[in-house]
Copies of this chain bind each other. A is one copy, B any other.
Amino acid sequence: MANILILGAGVMGTALAVPASDNGHAVVLSGTPLDDAVVARMQAPGGTHPKLDAPLPGTVRVIADAALTAEDTDKADLIVVGVSSPGITWAVDRLNELLRRETTVAFVTKGLDRRDGAVVTFAETVPERINRLGTFIGIGGPCIARELALRLPTASVYAARNEAAAKRAAALFRTPYYRLAVSDDLTGVEACAALKNFFAIGVSAMQTRYPDALRADGQSKNPTAAAFTQAVHEMAMLCEMVGGARSTAFDLAGLGDLHVTVGGGRNSRLGHSLGRKRNVEEAMTQELANETVEGIDTARVVASLLHGMGRDSVRFPLTKAIIDAVLGKTLFEFDFEKLYLPANAG
């Protein structure tokens, strides 16, 4: 039995308490200051997270941020940071207040950053900000938190530069329904986890861009399949540009997570609006008012990657179409004549 502390009672942090608790570990789920209402609700008898369907196992101890102490972090064999990317600075500060010894921390938080003119992942920028970080673990792969909390079969990947550390972390969470690969391509897993939100916008736009009234879902299929394939290949090239391995884009953290992200969630809803020829301002002030669409932040960073790439940017027609639409320059238009098919050039 291990002691696991989860920081942040968002859907993913909360869902991870389920396999950890099913494995017999002592789990503490501690909300952020923004989670107080959610924590109170889960502390009530039979209480559920508002975005999950089932109550947590009774063995999970749910506490508010105010109740979290250094005794909790002292005991923890592993800490999970379950905040979304805008919460990363809060999480870093809180860890620096609490940690009194080197501790392994697994992050579900994903993002791309700029540093010294280069684009890097949180795996590059976050560790140096935490004073007593043992190993940085990144969690990626196709996982809708609600389904994991319902114990539906789910595959994910735990990544660390030190693969043995990733294996130890995965062993704490792996159950018959939560199947975990491990990887030493931490940067690649982090990059893909951020990029999949961005590409989900473009692939989802293609789902609505060419309607097919004869189908139950109203969507034609050839354009989406072409865009999905294109997205995976452009993701692989971008992943490599930020220091990850191409192969990671062709695995759970890349094409797997893109598959689950297209068709559900806020990035996909933005894509569907763009595909219906609405512009990003309309979408973000109307059907997505007050929502955070993580792929938009990623678009800003990816735009800086593409900028100055020169002629090479011809290899990224889908990336460019998404950036142009999401940063408000044009309506979404992925010109199939620009589809980059390397062997074509003759």
**A residues neighboring B (CB under 8 Å):** 53, 142-144, 147-148, 152-155, 163-164, 167, 170, 176-177, 179-183, 210, 212, 214, 217, 220-226, 228-230, 232-233, 250-252, 255-257, 259-260, 263-264, 336-337, 339, 341-344, 346
Contacts and interface: CB of A to CB of B under 8 A. Distances in A.
Contact of A336 (B179, B255, B260, B342): B179
A65 to B, nearest CB: 29
Q: How many copies does the complex hold?
A: 2
A202 to B, nearest CB: 13
Given A212-B147, A226-B256, A263 B221 contact: yes
24 contacts: A53-B214, A142-B221, A142-B225, A144-B221, A144-B222, A147-B223, A152-B220, A153-B222, A153-B336, A155-B225, A155-B226, A155-B230, A176-B337, A180-B341, A181-B342, A182-B346, A222-B260, A224-B260, A225-B257, A226-B256, A228-B255, A229-B256, A232-B250, A255-B255
A232 B147 CA distance: 23
The 9 closest A-B pairs by CB, nearest first: A142-B225, A155-B226, A181-B341, A229-B256, A225-B260, A154-B222, A153-B336, A225-B259, A147-B222
A181 B233 CA distance: 14
Contact of A233 (B217, B222, B251): B251
A233 B53 CA distance: 33
A228 B230 CA distance: 16
Given A153-B226, A220-B147, A344 B256 contact: no
Contact of A339 (B155, B183, B336, B343): B155
B260 A179 contact: no
A153 B233 CA distance: 18
A230 B251 CA distance: 8
Nearest to A209: B153
Contacts of A346: 164, 167, 182
A260 B206 CA distance: 13
Nearest to A260: B225
Contacts of A233: 251
Contact of A229 (B155, B170, B214, B221): B155
A306 B341 CA distance: 34
Given A176-B337, A341-B155, A148 B222 contact: yes
